[in-house]
Structure 1
Amino acid sequence: MNTIGYRPTGPRELVRAVDRVSFIYLERTVVNRDSNAITATDERGTVHIPAASVGALLLGPGTTITHQAITLMADSGSTVVWVGERGVRYYAHGSSLARSARMLEAQATAVTNRQARLRVARAMYAMRFPGEDVSRMAMQQLRGREGARVRRVYRDHAERTGLEWTRRNYNPEDWDAGDPVNQALSAANSALYGAVHAVIVALGCSPALGFIHTGHSRSFVYDVADLYKAELTIPIAFDVAAEQEGDIGPLTRRAVRDALHDGKLLERCARDIRTLLLPDEDPSTDEITSGQDFDDVALWDEYVVTVRGGVAYGDAS
């Protein structure tokens, strides 16, 4: 395709995000392009999918995609994410669903301001301690409360399943060194990290700018994933370890996959991130869900924040 003079589709021409299928998962297929549709071909035949109706295309194991298909998805305002089986791992992604930098700017602003960062960190802990007032707690106090809560969760599930539990202990370099529960916890958390990572990049946020975790390229991934471990990955890990009916790794990942789907965690995760970063905004103003046009480019100004872009400033003479 000749790209010289090519005009990409404008935001107002695109299908609104709320009118799209949230995501389509494909595996062991060849993805190509046929006019304004992408095609998915496997041994059963070929399926045509209107590209403009897809919010995110998740490419699982055994998938091959052509340059033409990627070009069409990008022009349609759809993101493409390369994932593990049923989306439980994140590998890479294409363009974000976001058409503005509002979420990323809010994240960067909050993480670089001590009080704003503390506000977000407290809000994250408040999600884990429903009904408790954490508004005056320091980070050291919050870490202590969280540590005690997690130890209690481990102990409760050990008693429920009849498993012996000492402590969280794993070596990333030696999977087999861990006991069945620790192996299952590692597999479950890895799957959760992949799903959360995919949501973060789809929203246009940075996986690296964390509020509780810091200094790692996935700090924000670990922050957000910690919101769901007590209700999701920990009970699944103990259940899988108690059953001992096969290879713990694959069994755990499939269990997490099913729980993510049944609990609509991707939707919940996106909503939680937006609430944390933009707590004072009406959700209906979000361009990701409302389809509003935020494709404007502005210029930064030290006095009035932004001024119009695309304007020749200065003395024309």
Structure 2
Amino acid sequence: MEKGSHSFAAASKLFDRLTRERSWLLYAWCRRCDDIADNQDRGGPLGDQGTPKNAEDRIQAIRVLTRRAFEEQPTAEAAFDGFGLVADECNLTMEMANDVISGFALDASRFAPANERDLLRYCYHVAGAVGIMMARVMGVPEEDGETLDRANDLGIAFQMANIARDVVEDDAAGRRYIPADWLAETDWGNGNHASPENRFKLAGIMPRLIALMEKHEAAARLGAARLRFRQRWAVLAAANIYGAIGRKVLDRGQLAWDRRVVVSGPEKLWHILRALGQAVVNSPPAPVEPIIWSRHDFRPVAGW
């Protein structure tokens, strides 16, 4: 986690010891699955993707190893063995894991969203579903569907911040997560949105993406209010940090992709301290838009 995600590493230290260690095990599984799917090392540069059959084989290997972990069978992969442990302790299910694995399968198939609904479903599978598992790690029961819905919102918000920050980097790797119909409104063809000469127009799309991020971020804060104090503090710290990434992209305009947007150490400390105050007061503002969705609206992946 220290190498793969500085933001998550900082926020995880605010958890109580048991939750912190379980969150590390969950993260390790997610990181290892991602690395297998993309043939990379701890989120580094993408490796050779090979043929579509190679990509399918890597996804199938993830499914097999994960099922063995659930069955408490040895996998020869520490990340999968650790995931089997936390799954057993926190009542995670294979269905939850499959929702996340479906996100890796989408990337392996070179998925690109046609519209906002596709974007939201993608964000659910690669991040919202992880948020739901993380909520279970924090002790949220299966019956508390409202809090699980809001955990999904937080994952979606995080992923949209990542998409905004990494849009040019993703394009270089042959991936696109900006909806095609958004790009069509700018008169671009697919593949032109990240070109240097189009950065001004690309920046013009960011208010729409960041507004969607903030919509789900605001909903997620309502769910955080239902958590225990240490958990609430950690979740709000992560929300502050990732929200700052998205808002920095927005503020920088066409210069946002000249260098990678990061939240510095002192900035992280400020966001953590601000989260402490938010966790103590525990009175998040009501979202501007009424919440009329649930996590079930963003699944399944089948039929795309």
TM-score scaled by length of structure 1? 0.28
Higher helix share: 2
Larger radius of gyration: 1
TM-score when scaled to structure 2? 0.29
